[in-house]
Structure 1
């Protein structure tokens, strides 16, 4: 028999599982919920003494009680914060656990506190700035503050009201105490249930595996399975039937498996560029490569800015990826300098230093005597989209065009970026007459496509000069994924649109 032990996230308790538990039970599973100390329904005790170890002990108590009966496959499900006590308990009872399910939750690591997984950057900074004190509690969110802890997409008004009314204060020690693992938990089969209204889906996770994210590469090598739910952070309240179905399939070993690097096929981003572009010599200075056109110049220039986050260990680095080298060589053959840049967007917290790297590289390109510093275009890709916000908000006179391919134009909910700096959808109203060329992939990931549509709606509202080049059958990264005639023609049209504006 499959036995589910369900562990709720921050501020919540067993009550959130009622509908999901009922559906699992109706399918013949046995279901238990772990009540965590200090969270309303949990065991009573002095709040100051409650930490992550307390909650690990709470989960262990349920595991040990359930495990007394033989012939049961125990599946531990941790939602959000709940994955931390789940992983801690599974590490100590690895032989008794059949599977761990990470429900819209991260991958806890040894020595790292649960605070590191709190989505909101300013909240993390505030809580970590108390000198490490673990006493006291964090008040539950007000009704309009739940998005700081995860997207409320899919929740009815009644469900959001109930979440708010029943929420309990979170003991600070549970967030601040580092998790301690022996490593035994790595042998326990695992499944991730990704809520695409709150963060990346499977396709984006696979992309991160392809570019070498060490943690995700490990998951691919371990054969971790994945499911997607098109909802926000609380699927047990927004879509309990779909969640129950995913949990049952996960317990049976189902789900999507990531493709690892040893599959024998090059990752998508390292496949050939879709156009047959003659090779050109390049000059490398620091983090910038120049592809020079024929003739003495000065020539206009297009600076290509990669997306990400890209792990620092990734090799080759993005400026050597076929998409960027292909575009740079292509525009050089048409009379403009092509420049590719490596920047330090290694995590979603790195946008500020990535913006500094890009700005410095642009000035380096403009200062080259072979470049006409009054005629520059910037072309961004994918996760580099948020970096467009600075240039849209205050476009310099020499910036003649800004382009973006399949960009993320609103930080994804799970990123936790605070403030408005890296939000192109808000910056576009200040773009004035700056021309924007946006290349839209017709088969874009849903979580990214919605940011593009939000940007286009705002651009239309404020009268921004935006030309859309559609690739109807193109996927994210279509230049190396979809070498079709339509995609090739879209690339040519996009380059022509940029160079026309650049030379006007």
Structure 2
């Protein structure tokens, strides 16, 4: 018999599992939603100090209570914050646990507190400041009905369920978020399954891409004992699709699920496939974190600076400026008589947009200072997650910026990125773009979450009269240069490049 031990996320208790637990029980499983001390009404705190170790002990107590009977396979399920006590307990009882399920949550590491996984960056900074000033005791008030989005997408959660989630929410003891998770490493031997909620911004394809970047830290995800499932819903699947969640958990317990492809196995990863256009070879000049492809022509030339997307892990090799797609774009620009530029910036995590923006600004200054570049005629071209970096240039476009282009961009923070209140919101910034031409390459088969940001941008641009040139790739996916039919992609790339060059030379 499979025994599911389920641990809820911040502010929530065992009650959130009610419908999913009923379906698992009907399928013949034993289910134990864990009552967390100081959060669940059924387990009030008996001391003033409730921390992560308290909740780890709560989970261990359930494991010990059910683990003695023969023929039972224990599957620990951790949602959101709940993965921290789950991992702490599994690390101390690895022989008792058959599998750990990560339900739409991060991958906590030894020595790192749950605070690091709080999606709302502003709240993380606020709590860190409290700790620095010796105010780490007490509780964090639960979200209001409209504040749950700060903790994850509520997509798919019915109104009454969201009302009940709010009504039953409890304050979260700060010690549970601030105390570092301590792992011996024993949990690494326990098989794992990740259940990704795509409406919250994460998919199996995205995780595979992160693995393909070559960061050694991601290699463990390709272990045969690691499987993945997707659910097309927001961050609370136990409320939005309990039947589908129960089915996925049963399949996970049986060892099913998608397994990631190790780097170097099979076809090259998408970002290392050839550029779809035949472009002339062009010598590269490397200056710090910037590469220039300078055409053999007289006089200062306009420049097109290509800004890669992300986040890209810090350990990725090769780095983005050496990817065939970015090199191909730069050589294409050089073939048109422009100075093509690629660069590496430090967008390694969604918390890195500030420093990535600074890296892009520094690269622009370096390029404009080159005597072979016409400093009064520059275009910036952004890709994917780099789309949020367009905000500064849209909000206050300098006179020398003659065009801004973007390919399959993310144009508003995704729900789980925790960028509430940040300046990186192109949908808002476009209202200040004035006469700046914007060339937008739109993938027809974009993921719904990213497509929604693009459509919001297009609507905002039209409402404010922005100069928008839409280039559609109807059958294109995110990263269409190396994923889709070359004929359609080539036409779109040539159209977009001609448009950018025309703005630079007008």
TM range (shorter): over 0.9
1:379 maps to 381
How far apart in 2 are the matches of 1:495 and 1:13? Answer: 54
2:249 maps to 247
Range with greater deviation from structure 2 (126-135 or 318-327): 126-135
1:10 maps to 10
- Partner residue of 1:313 out of 312, 315, 318: 315
Query: What secondary structure sits across from 1:49 in the alignment?
Result: coil
CA displacement, residues 424-455 of structure 1 (integer Å, 9 cap, x when unaligned):
11111111111111111222223222211121
Query: What secondary structure sits across from 1:330 in the alignment?
Result: helix
How far apart in 1 are the matches of 2:379 and 2:263? Answer: 35
- 2:215/2:317 contact within 8 Å kept: no
Query: What secondary structure sits across from 1:295 in the alignment?
Result: coil
- 1:223/1:258 contact within 8 Å kept: no
1:356 maps to 358
1:270 aligns with 2:269: no
- 1:440/1:469 contact within 8 Å kept: yes
2:505 maps to 503
- Partner residue of 2:291 out of 289, 292, 297: 289
1:111 maps to 111
- Partner residue of 1:209 out of 206, 211, 232: 211
Cα deviation, residue 10, structure 1: 0.7
Query: What secondary structure sits across from 2:398 in the alignment?
Result: coil
How far apart in 2 are the matches of 1:217 and 1:465? Answer: 44
CA displacement, residues 447-483 of structure 1 (integer Å, 9 cap, x when unaligned):
2222111211221222211111111222221212235
CA displacement, residues 50-105 of structure 1 (integer Å, 9 cap, x when unaligned):
11011001001111111121101111111100010001111111111111111111
How far apart in 1 are the matches of 2:266 and 2:382? Answer: 30
1:200 maps to 202
TM-score norm. by structure 2 comes to 0.97
1:177 aligns with 2:179: yes
Query: What secondary structure sits across from 1:105 in the alignment?
Result: coil
- 2:224/2:259 contact within 8 Å kept: no
How far apart in 1 are the matches of 2:113 and 2:406? Answer: 37
How far apart in 2 are the matches of 1:223 and 1:499? Answer: 50
Query: What secondary structure sits across from 1:261 in the alignment?
Result: coil
- Partner residue of 1:258 out of 260, 272, 280: 260
1:151 maps to 153
Q: Cα RMSD between the aligned structures?
A: 1.4
Cα deviation, residue 223, structure 1: 4.3
1:481 maps to 483
1:101 maps to 101
Cα deviation, residue 221, structure 1: 3.2
Could you tell me which runs of 5 or more consecutive residues in structure 1 were left unpaired when the two chains were aligned.
none
1:166 maps to 168
Query: What secondary structure sits across from 1:233 in the alignment?
Result: coil
How far apart in 1 are the matches of 2:79 and 2:163? Answer: 20
- 1:6/1:32 contact within 8 Å kept: yes
Over 3 Å counting, the alpha-carbon distance change for 1:223 and 1:461 in structure 2 is: farther
Could you tell me which runs of 5 or more consecutive residues in structure 2 were left unpaired when the two chains were aligned.
none
Cα deviation, residue 264, structure 1: 4.1
TM-score norm. by structure 1 comes to 0.97
- 2:14/2:40 contact within 8 Å kept: no
Cα deviation, residue 499, structure 1: 0.9
Cα deviation, residue 118, structure 1: 0.4
